[in-house]
Amino acid sequence: KNRRSGRIIFIPNNYVFTNLLANYTHHGMKTVLDGIDISVTFDSNLDKAQEIVENIVTRHAKGYTELARKNIARLQHEYSIKNPKV
């Protein structure tokens, strides 16, 4: 899929949360726009997979979530963003 950052990185599943994936200091980037596509097989327990991912995201996003909400609210007002749920 095409990402806003203009790059696609394919990574083994066991590598995602344990290793450095990209150097965000390169090119003086002040904004990080990334997404992670997670594939599950047809016989997988989709609810369990979603629960696992949500737990990981919640654990690792602590401290950033509220800051992101404040910044989105500021940008929404400053640039008249209609749908801030990106």
What ranges do the domains of the chain cover? 13-79
pLDDT band at residue 75 under the 50/70/90 scheme: confident
* pTM, full prediction: 0.45
Count the neighbouring beta carbons within 10 Å of the beta carbon of residue 49: 14
- Look up tokens 């997988």; give the residue: 44
Judged by average pLDDT, the poorest of 32-36, 47-51, 76-80 is 32-36
Quick one: average pLDDT of 35-47?
Answer: 87
Residues 6+ positions from 26 with CB-CB distance below 8 Å = none
pLDDT at 65 over 80: no
Q: Strand, helix or coil at 49? A: helix
The rounded mean pLDDT for the chain is 74
| φ, ψ for residue 37, nearest 5 deg | -90, 130
pLDDT band at residue 29 under the 50/70/90 scheme: very low
- Nearest in space to 71 (alpha carbons), one of 62, 81, 58: 81
